[in-house]
Amino acid sequence: MMPGPGGGAGPLVMLQALLGPEVVAAVRSDEVERYLVDHRRLYHGRALAIARPRSTEQVSKLLAFCNAQRIGVVPQGGNTSYCGGATPDASGTQLLLSLERMDRIRQLDADDCAMVAEAGCVLAKLQDAAREADRLLPLSLGSEGSCQLGGNLSTNAGGTNVLRYGMARDLVLGLEVVLADGRVLDTLSTLRKDNTGYDVKSLFLGAEGTLGVITAAALRLFPREASLATAFVAVPDIDAAVALLARLRASSGDRLSSFELIPRAALDLLSAHLPDARDPLAAPSPWYVLCEAASARADEDLTAMLAQALEEALAAGQVTDAAVARGARDRESLWSLRERIPEAQRREGLSLKHDVSLPVSHVARFVAEAEAWLRQAAPEGRLVAYGHLGDGNLHFNVSARSATEAEALAARTDAIRRHVHDLVRAHGGSFSAEHGIGALKVDELVRYAPPVELELMRAIKRTFDPQGIMNPGKVLRR
Amino acid sequence: MMPGPGGGAGPLVMLQALLGPEVVAAVRSDEVERYLVDHRRLYHGRALAIARPRSTEQVSKLLAFCNAQRIGVVPQGGNTSYCGGATPDASGTQLLLSLERMDRIRQLDADDCAMVAEAGCVLAKLQDAAREADRLLPLSLGSEGSCQLGGNLSTNAGGTNVLRYGMARDLVLGLEVVLADGRVLDTLSTLRKDNTGYDVKSLFLGAEGTLGVITAAALRLFPREASLATAFVAVPDIDAAVALLARLRASSGDRLSSFELIPRAALDLLSAHLPDARDPLAAPSPWYVLCEAASARADEDLTAMLAQALEEALAAGQVTDAAVARGARDRESLWSLRERIPEAQRREGLSLKHDVSLPVSHVARFVAEAEAWLRQAAPEGRLVAYGHLGDGNLHFNVSARSATEAEALAARTDAIRRHVHDLVRAHGGSFSAEHGIGALKVDELVRYAPPVELELMRAIKRTFDPQGIMNPGKVLRR
């Protein structure tokens, strides 16, 4: 038997002796897909074992042991990463640490507008709990039915409510984190204001488990939204969409919570692959906006407000047509168009994905330049650029025009990524908006991060995880 | 002449050779008050010299030199710290680094809802510039006419709009920071979403210049507020005020931007010392709330909304009387009551100040317990607890009941601070809400910060500033 760091059965036996086989076990063959293959099926890992702790104390014991033995630890939530951030490498020497059993809501106080929840809570469960207390947890994203809080915070998730409520980071009041050596950092306060030295907790938000394991968080809640207005709007171009954004923010009294850009190409994909997806408007338009305003007042006629603002935008030439949702079913059907774009893309086949952000004022020029380049350099590709225009965040995806052209397009993956990301940088944008770095974008971070910032990140990594056991190879190269 | 680190004329001559006497000079006798004495006159420092750089490059040269020579550097903005955070020590060996000449607005883009400004900009100037572009920079505090952006960010300032818009940290999109060794960290992006590795910039927000010098920042802007409603409300007790907070957040559609608690004792101080301060209500009440709602819609009748919500609160017994502002003059006169409380306290004489925060649901119990203790243990003291109840932030101040009792009360300073801060901790609160640590609260931080967090802070300090030149002795002990 191979003794020593991370090799063979030795560490597994010792881990089981420490915490029992109920907490630490070999990955069964029927669990491989669930834990060792990522959501996009880009990564297929192996693992020394899987640990499913039930308490912070158990996580602490696990990490102290792994740190002493130099065993790499890969934390995992709902396994919905787009960047392979939660998949172990192929060596079989890393411990997969699933937080799924730590799924308690420890505290919820409506007066304080705060809740404390464990990392393994599925996001939708937290949204429901807040709603039952007449409050809103605004974090909302496509995978909310399966993604977990720990992963949301570790990737600083975005989603469809960022415009109004901010990223995951902005919702965090305090954290409980187990450090690489097993020490527990407890800053689980629900205080809105707490200026006591450096903002240490922020380092873990977006660190993707490379500096420690988030085990619980105190989250901000808001008054529950009691009225909603939703519209699907045809706009002539992106400039018009940007002008509409400013108009609606002002005319809604800054109650715009979502402002999603959708291209005609996405509607075409939807109608090709999802027959029940229906274009809400009569005539085709090159671009659309799905927008929503929300208010905590039940007696507020946001729909009338939105309809009037859209009339004015129509008169100003910023809008060519619009469908305003009348009731919850309308609303759901409009949102399902937006939310099923990734599914339609999956059915279409190859899709080269870029999760970029830009200053809102640059989005139109960036898309025009990138599209012109694509026509020349990758004629097999069709641009499907959609996303959270209110935050300047585009999912700049390139689909193959036909199944026969997929291979030729795939061969251009690296060249397209390089051109798109270089162009994003030239416009003052970022190659990574809301999906994180994971394993997929480690080289991009080295290329695009300011060198001084990268030096500081590496220094922080060495300070927090001197043995390099935390999610090795993710975010920063080993 | 004394050679070597930080001693005598040597370093001054060398600094002047490096950047010229226009940038680096001895502190003139008529400048001592302005630069070397803090706002509350608790600290009287000396300085090797004063540097007033005009550019990031000059700051970089200064720090590189000081790091090599191990000369302590004390950054200073508008010198409005309540905790001595910007005053050099008494040794005369530290360099005072005033950012006041770095006062340019580098960029302001209304579509992007962002501006980039240098650290030496006075806050009010930035508010004005945003307003001219039909946008809102929501950071607002008593000293906004003289405090500077760099100090606001370095202390993560709060103020009266935190309830709706967050702390200074929440408004920062990017930073330019000169590190202790002169390297320049440039993350001056105006992107709303940028998940590229660790959130390094957050460390500098609230670090009070101990990890580097913030030279510029990219800030979030919001739609300009076009309608306002303000009311001064009598409430029977703090529980009623907390219930009113939840009611007004919901009934205003979460457009409540300020919710300030004011005790009767504060109104008594105001009428004793500022004869033009007028109680807006007929009968006295033990507690008051000054609240304001704001909207970017010009055509919204917030005043009617607020008046109706207050009627309902009256019927529910949460409110006993209220004055709703009719027009800008009314509003100003109500706000001047709140804003002049510190002035009235200064005129009254000794005031033992505690800048604490609590979960909103604990404020009433905390105040009751603290007041009961004070009556027994410090009969010379009168409690004047006021502040941002919407954020759970109380300025828990104790004034002497009469001039003759000031000395006896002063003798209890340490005992009162200890009891108040211990009680705050027992209620899950913080001894430092929005004024920072500075020099004043270094020992409190050691006492109350979780030990693991303190260890991480010290490790970060060593990593970012290995020579210990950045604002020595502030936040963390040397």
The answer to ipTM > 0.90 is yes
**A270: nearest Cα among A344, A352, A351, A331:** A344
Tell if the CB–CB gap between B156 and A251 is shorter than 8 Å. no
Which residue in A192, A198, A250 is closest to B162 by CB distance?
Answer: A192
Tokens 């300090």 correspond to: B461
Residues in chain A: 478
The two three-digit tokens of residue A107, written as one number? 């505290």
> In chain B, what residues touch A435 (CB-CB under 8 Å)?
195
Indicate the residue of A193, A254, A358 with minimum beta-carbon distance to B434: A193
Nearest chain B Cα distance for residue A453, angstroms: 6
Ordered strands of the A73-76 beta sheet: A24-25, A49-51, A95-98, A73-76
> Which chain B residue's Cα is nearest to A182?
B452
Measure in Å the smallest separation between the Cα of B346 and chain A Cα atoms. 25
Local confidence band at B431 (pLDDT 50, 70, 90 cut-offs): very high
Question: pLDDT at position A2, please?
Answer: 41
The minimum CA-CA distance between A182 and chain B, rounded to whole Å, is 11
B191 and A357 within 8 Å at the Cβ level: the answer is yes
B467: distance to nearest CA of chain A, Å? 16
Query: What Rg, from alpha-carbon coordinates, does chain B have?
Result: 23
Closest-CA residue in chain B for A444? B196
- Strand B95-98 and strand B49-51: pairing? parallel
Which of A194, A195, A362 has the most B C-beta neighbours within 10 Å, making it the best mutation to test the interface with B?
A: A195
Query: Contact A476/B255, CB-based, under 8 Å?
Result: no
What DSSP designation does B179 have? E
User: Collapsing DSSP states into helix, strand and coil, what is residue A40?
Assistant: coil
Give B325→chain A minimum CA distance, Å: 21
CB contact under 8 A, A392 and B189: no
Give me the pLDDT at residue A9, please: 55
| Helix, strand, coil share of chain B (percent; to 5) | 40, 20, 40
Beta bridge partners of A98: A76
Residue from A75, A381, A45 nearest A212 by CA:
A75
Taking the alpha carbons at both ends of chain A, their separation in whole angstroms is 27
The least confident of A109-123, B81-95, B211-225, B292-306 is B292-306
∠ CA A159-A163-A164, rounded to 5°: 110
Which of B197, B359, B450 is nearest residue A191 as measured by Cβ atoms?
B359
Q: Nearest by CB to A392, from B186, B192, B445: name it.
A: B192
> pLDDT tens digit string along A48-96?
999 999 999 999 999 999 999 999 999 999 999 999 999 999 999 999 9
CA of B37, closest CA in chain A: separation in Å? 23
| Residue from the list A191, A222, A476 with its beta carbon closest to the beta carbon of B392 | A191
**Would you call A207 and B195 a contact, using CB atoms and an 8 Å cutoff?**
no
CB contact under 8 A, B202 and A197: no
- Rounded Cα–Cα distance for residues B283 and B270 (Å): 16
Verdict on whether the full-model pTM lies above 0.90: yes
Q: How far apart are CA B337 and CA B292, in angstroms?
A: 14
Residues in chain A with CB shorter than 8 Å from the CB of B174 are none
| CA–CA dist A311, A415 (Å, integer) | 43
Contact B83, B438 (CB under 8 A): yes
List the single residue in A114, A242, A429 with the smallest CB-CB distance to B111: A242
Q: Which of B192, B211, B242 to mutate to test the interface with A (most CBs of A within 10 A)?
A: B192
- The pLDDT tens digits of the residues spanning B51-69 come to 999 999 999 999 999 999 9
Look at B445 and A296 and tell me if their CB atoms are within 8 Å.
Answer: no
Query: What six digits make up the tokens of A50?
Result: 């899987």
**What would the two tokens of residue A474 be?**
């993710």
Nearest to A195 among B155, B179, B448 (CB): B155
User: What's the one-letter identity of residue B358?
Assistant: L
pLDDT level of residue B254 (50, 70, 90 thresholds):
confident
Which residues, in sequence order, are CB contacts of A148 under 8 Å at separation 6+?
A: A77, A78, A99, A100, A103, A119, A120, A121, A122, A123
Task: State how far residue A213 is from chain B, nearest Cα, in angstroms.
Answer: 14
**Which residues in chain B are contacts of A446 at CB distance < 8 A?**
none
pLDDT the model gives residue A205:
98
- A:B CB pairs within 8 Å: 272
With contacts defined as CB-CB under 8 Å, which chain A residues touch B302?
Answer: none
Chain B residues close to A434, C-beta within 8 Å: 193, 195
Tell me which residue of B146, B424, B470 sits closest to A189, measured CA to CA.
B424
Alpha-carbon gap, residue B198 to A86, rounded angstroms: 17
Would you say the C-alpha torsion A145, A149, A150, A151 has a positive or negative sign?
A: positive
- What integer pLDDT is reported at residue B4 of this predicted model? 45
Closest CA to A325 of A358, A371, A293, A364: A293
Q: What is the pLDDT of residue A111?
A: 86
Q: Do the Cβ atoms of B190 and A251 come within 8 Å?
A: no
Nearest 5°: phi and psi at B138? -75, -15
> Could you tell me which chain A residue has the CA closest to the CA of B244?
A111
CB-CB under 8 Å, A431 with B162 = no
Using CA atoms, how far apart are residues B187 and B216, in angstroms rounded to an integer? 10
Shortest CA gap A409–chain B (Å):
27
Average pLDDT in the B233-245 region?
A: 97
> Which residue from A359, A457, A461 is facing B112, i.e. has the nearest CB?
A359
What residues in chain A have per-residue pLDDT under 70?
Answer: 1-9
Tokens representing A302 are 């946001």
Picking from B185, B206, B428, the nearest residue to A195 by CB comes out as B206
pLDDT at B6: 44
Which residues on chain B are in Cβ contact (under 8 Å) with A246? Answer: 110-111, 223
Which helix (H) or strand (E) segment holds residue A397: the answer is strand A393-400
Residues of B in contact with A445 (CB under 8 A): 196-197
In this prediction, residue B7 carries a pLDDT of 45
Average pLDDT over residues B400-411: 93
User: Is B211 in contact with A222 (Cβ distance < 8 A)?
Assistant: no
Q: Is the pLDDT of residue B96 over 90?
A: yes
End-to-end CA distance of chain B: give it in Å, rounded.
27
Partners of B155 on chain A (C-beta within 8 Å) are 195
Instruction: Give chain A positions within 8 Å (CB) of B358.
Output: 191
Distance from CA of B408 to the nearest CA of A (A): 30
Closest-CA distance, A193 to chain B, in angstroms, reads 5
DSSP letter at B279 equals -
Interface test with B, best of A116, A135, A187, A196 (most B CBs within 10 A): A196
Instruction: Show Cβ contacts of residue A26 under 8 Å, excluding neighbours closer than 6 positions.
Output: A12, A49, A50
Q: Do B250 and A296 touch (CB under 8 A)?
A: yes
How many Cβ atoms from other residues are within 10 Å of residue A373's Cβ? 14
Closest among B179, B152, B214 to B469, alpha carbons compared: B179
Rounded to the nearest angstrom, the minimum Cα separation between B401 and chain A is 30
- Determine whether the interchain pair A195/B430 forms a contact, defined as Cβ–Cβ distance below 8 Å: yes
As to burial, measured by CB atoms within 10 angstroms (0-12 exposed, 13-18 middle, 19+ buried), residue B267 is buried
Two structure tokens written together for B360: 């909103």
* Positive or negative: CA dihedral B279, B285, B286, B290: negative
Q: Name every chain B residue with its beta carbon within 8 A of the beta carbon of A192.
A: 162, 357, 391-393
**Above pLDDT 90, what percent of chain B?**
90
